[in-house]
Amino acid sequence: MMMWKKLMMAVVVSSIAVQGRAETSAATEARTCCGLTSEQAGLPLRPDVVERVSPIYQTTRSGRHLVGAAVTYRSGLGLSVERLQAAADCQMIEGRIHPSSSPLAVKNVEAHARMERDRLRLDITSGDEASAREIVRRATTALSVAIR
C-alpha cells in the first residue's frame, strides 16, 4: 500500500512539473507574441515608421460609411507584408488580453497588411461604425500624425 502511495505521489509531482513547463512555455510565447520579439510586435504603432493615417470609407446603397483607418508606412524600412501582418495580429491578441489605447485593441477589429505601390499599408477596420470611429481616433492619437 505504501508503494502505491509513493507511485501516485510521483505521478502527481511529475504532472505538475510538466504542467508548469507548459505554462512557462505559454507565457514565453505570449511574451514574444507569435514568435515576434516585443520590439517587432510593437512595430505597427511606432510613430517613427508611419507616414500617414487615412480614414477608410465603404460606399453602400445607404451611403458612405466610415469603416476604419489605413496606416501607411515609410518606404525603406525593410519590412515585409507578412511581418507587418504578424505584428498586427500580435497587437490584436495582446489587446484582447491586456486592453490598451492601441487602434488594434478596439472591439471587433480586423487588420490586413498589403503593399500599395512602394509602401506598406495596414488597413485597420471594423463593421461597427462606433468601433471604426474609435480606430481612427486611436490611430491618429497613438501615432501622433495628422489624418490625411
Helix (H) or strand (E) holding 53: strand 50-60
What mean pLDDT is reported for the chain?
Answer: 76
pLDDT tens, position by position, 97-119: 667 888 999 989 999 999 998 89
Residue 76 confidence (pLDDT): 81
pLDDT tens, position by position, 36-56: 666 655 666 778 888 999 999
C-alpha span between 76 and 37 (Å, rounded): 21
How many residues does the structure list for the chain?
148
Which of the two residues, 91 and 106, has the higher pLDDT score?
106
C-alpha span between 23 and 67 (Å, rounded): 38
